[in-house]
Amino acid sequence: MSSGTSSGRFDADVYARRLSAAAAATAGAGLAGLVITPGYDLRYLIGSRAETFERLTALVLPAVGAPTVVLPRLELASLKESAAADLGLDVRDWVDGDDPYQLVAAALGGSPAATAVTDSMPALHLLPLARVLGVTPVLATDVLRELRMVKEEAEIDALRKAGAAIDRVHARVPEFLVPGRTEADVAADISKAIVAEGHSDVAFVIVGSGPHGADPHHGYSDRELQVGDIVVVDIGGTYGPGYHSDSTRTYSIGQPSAEVAEQYSILQRAQRVAFDFVRPGVTAEQVDAAARDVLAESGLAEYFVHRTGHGIGLCVHEEPYIVAGNKLQLKAGMAFSIEPGIYFPGRWGARIEDIVIVTDDGALSVNNRPHELIVVPVS
């Protein structure tokens, strides 16, 4: 069956499987149910892009029993944009003056049992819900983490298409890197290209030239590009049913110095070694160490100032995090970045980033642009 991404969400059967799996995980955690307000968890479970307002909208997913959507009557029309209508979920609407938190409690069975809430639930709703339930809810993160970390076939397909789209943008970046133009000029061109190449929205654009490249999250500025600059370009967008691209390549305006070329080649090797290390059973911290050890052997460890990677999906940054201390074992279907970098304050920086999918026997990269330092010719 088609994944049905043209409407911005998957087909109802995808969400039905997710709801069933989430209910099973809820029961396995000894919880009475989940209460999910607008955010990425709600989008994951029923494809809803609803926003959080002062009026409560929530998916109530009991461990046993049918899911219920509680929402203001004036938001009923927006429910049609999610998979909720196709799923036949029970809908309990309310009007101003009603107590929606009592509706949530009733949907949970009415007993003050352990309940988990999405981590994006605002205090505006959490506190009155806790009063009605008579217990302080816990976070649903532990219940939903495993489901969201291991991507389904339709999610992997969306990530691969997003990766191909951002690759097409990187292929155009050299034409934007003209001496005398500002980082902001380049960022504006890249933003247009991100949408033109198939994304629905621009998630972020980083254009770090010269000394700005030594700031991993620089953004962009009015600094003018110069011959000899090393330029870090980290870009991403939202694609199809809300999945993200995220890829970094580093460019040299004119030929780099011998020192830059040598240090970049070490970074390139670190990124490749980390990629080759990925397979089921390996821990997240081992992948981080694989990249870090290569840089340490060449005396560059102190210039690598962030984790090696982050998970990606409906969020640009989500679990699993590829970082020291994370002993999580990788599983087939997990998706995350591999992005070691080196940063020399006041001088230059470089980063290489691909999104990879863990397979049964290794890893698959969704980004396939060259990893070499890309030299932009100057006249």
Instruction: Give the mean pLDDT of 137-154.
Output: 94
**Which residue is it, tokens 């959080």?**
52
How far is it, in rounded angstroms, from Cα 215 to Cα 307? 14
Determine the residue type at 368.
N
**Alpha-carbon gap, residue 81 to 64, rounded angstroms:** 26
Checking if the pLDDT of 4 tops 80, the result is no
Q: Both 40 and 156 in a single domain?
A: no
Same domain, yes or no, for 129 and 173? no
Q: Per-residue pLDDT averaged across 310-330, rounded?
A: 98
Q: In what order do the strands lie in the sheet with 318-322?
A: 318-322, 309-311, 335-338, 354-359, 362-365
- Count of domains forming the chain: 2
Mean pLDDT for the stretch of residues 68-95? 89
State the Cα torsion 135-141-144-146 to the nearest 10°.
Answer: -140
Has residue 265 got a pLDDT over 90?
Answer: yes
Residue 189's domain comprises: 150-376
DSSP codes joined into one string, 316-356: SSEEEEE-TT--PBP-TTBEEEE--EEEETTTEEEE-BEEE
| 156 and 141, same domain (yes or no) | no
From 98, 128, 147, give the residue that closes a domain: 147
Q: How confident is the model at residue 6 (pLDDT cuts 50, 70, 90)?
A: very low
DSSP H helical ranges for the chain: 12-28, 40-46, 76-79, 84-87, 100-107, 123-133, 141-149, 153-176, 183-196, 258-277, 284-297
Model confidence, pTM: 0.94
- Identify whether residues 51 and 137 lie together within a single domain: yes
Using the predicted structure, report yes or no on whether residue 85 has a pLDDT greater than 60.
Answer: yes
pLDDT-derived band at 52, boundaries 50, 70, 90? confident
The vertex-44 CA angle with 40 and 50, nearest 5°, equals 55
**For residue 211, what is the domain's CATH number?**
3.90.230.10
Does residue 291 belong to any structural domain of this protein? yes
Q: Does the pLDDT value for residue 2 go beyond 60? A: no
Is position 4 within any domain?
no
**What is the rounded CA–CA span in Å between residue 57 and residue 71?**
4
Q: Are 339 and 217 in contact (CB under 8 A)?
A: no
Residue 58: per-residue pLDDT = 97
Domain annotation covers residue 135: yes
- Residues 20 and 60 occupy one common structural domain: yes
Last residue of a domain, one of 147, 165, 193: 147
Residues 122 and 209 in one domain: no
Measured in whole angstroms, how far is the alpha carbon of residue 116 from the centre of its chain? Answer: 22
pLDDT bin (cut points 50, 70, 90) of residue 5 is: very low
Q: Do 197 and 219 meet the contact criterion of CB atoms below 8 Å apart?
A: no
Write out pLDDT tens, residues 272-292.
Answer: 999 999 999 999 999 999 999
In a domain, 5, yes or no: no
For residues 168-194, average pLDDT: 98
